[in-house]
Amino acid sequence: MNEQTLSRRLERVAAHVPQGARLADIGSDHGYLPVALMLRGVIEVGVAGEVAQTPFASAQRNVRKNDLEDRITVRLADGLAAVEAQDRISVISICGMGGDTMCEILEAGKQRLAGVKRLVLQPNGAERELRQWLMGNGFCIVNEELLRENRFDYEIIVAEPGSVAYTAEQLYFGPVLMQAKSEAFVVKWRRMLKQKQQTLANFARARDAVPQVKIDDFNQQVGWITQVLG
Ligand SMILES: C[S@@+](CC[C@H](N)C(=O)[O-])C[C@H]1O[C@@H](n2cnc3c(N)ncnc32)[C@H](O)[C@@H]1O
């Protein structure tokens, strides 16, 4: 992967960034996403935010290598602190980190989301919690994708300002994903069903009592998955 050839995962993230966007990519690492989108003429302005020194330096290097210093600003900053009012950012992408970390970043930087028209999020886990945060903070999910790459399932969640009330099942599976029920979705949830059933069997055999609330939660998940797979 490089700034010309993105991974399939980042390519699908890129597809949700609209033409003319002013993009802030938080946790940008090498900065491949904003650099690729700038080279393709998709974004007008880019900010690459990084909290760690080594990836920050890598993003700076890639921006410089492509002569994009006047179009992409690389900032060493924690989460949305990389977004400044004068950037007039319209789209924020956060990809390749835990959903719980994303919730913390969004919660801590809430006031910097004013004026943002779209979030493109690719969490590694805790998707339910992330959807819950979005719903509780005035965002509705306008699109979702599920893809498998290198033996991992990746979900992409695209959200825009709006109010919505999702059911517990929609938060769990994703409102768009459960509606579309793609092949990748069915394969993922068949696999998850087996795992959850195995965990329940392990609970039953466990020497120390597993808290009933945990068993109930797993049983509920097994029920939802069985139902959604129909
Ligand atoms: C696994 S990389 C993902 C890079 C790229 N976004 C992608 O999807 O390929 C996660 C990056 O997020 C950065 N990161 C983690 N927490 C962050 C935070 N609070 N603010 C900014 N960057 C953060 C890490 O330093 C790391 O470079």
Residues facing 154 on adjacent strands: 147
Q: How far is the CA of 72 from the centre of ligand 1 (A)?
A: 17
User: What does the alpha-carbon distance between residue 204 and residue 193 come to, in Å, rounded to a whole number?
Assistant: 17
Per-residue model confidence as pLDDT tens digits over 15-46? 999 999 999 999 999 999 999 999 999 999 99
Is the minimum distance from the CB of 28 to ligand 1 under 6 angstroms? yes
Pocket test for ligand 1, best of 13, 16, 47, 51 (most atoms within 8 A of CB): 51
Mean pLDDT of 144-156: 95
Phi, psi of 67 (to 5 degrees): 55, 40
Q: Is the pLDDT of residue 3 over 80?
A: no
- Find where tokens 């793609």 sit: 182
Ligand 1 center to 29 CA (angstroms):
6
Span 152-157, mean pLDDT?
96
Report the atom number in ligand 1 closest to the C-alpha of 104.
19
Q: In this structure, are residues 18 and 91 in contact, taking their beta carbons and an 8 Å threshold?
A: yes
Q: 195-228, pLDDT tens digit by residue?
A: 999 999 999 998 888 999 999 999 999 999 999 9
Decide: pTM greater than 0.85. Answer: yes
pLDDT at 1 over 90: no
* Strands of the chain, DSSP E: 21-26, 43-50, 72-76, 91-97, 118-123, 139-149, 152-161
Atom of ligand 1 nearest to the CA of 78: 20
Q: How confident is the model over 67-88, as pLDDT tens digits?
A: 999 999 999 999 999 999 999 9
- The three-state secondary structure class of 77 is coil
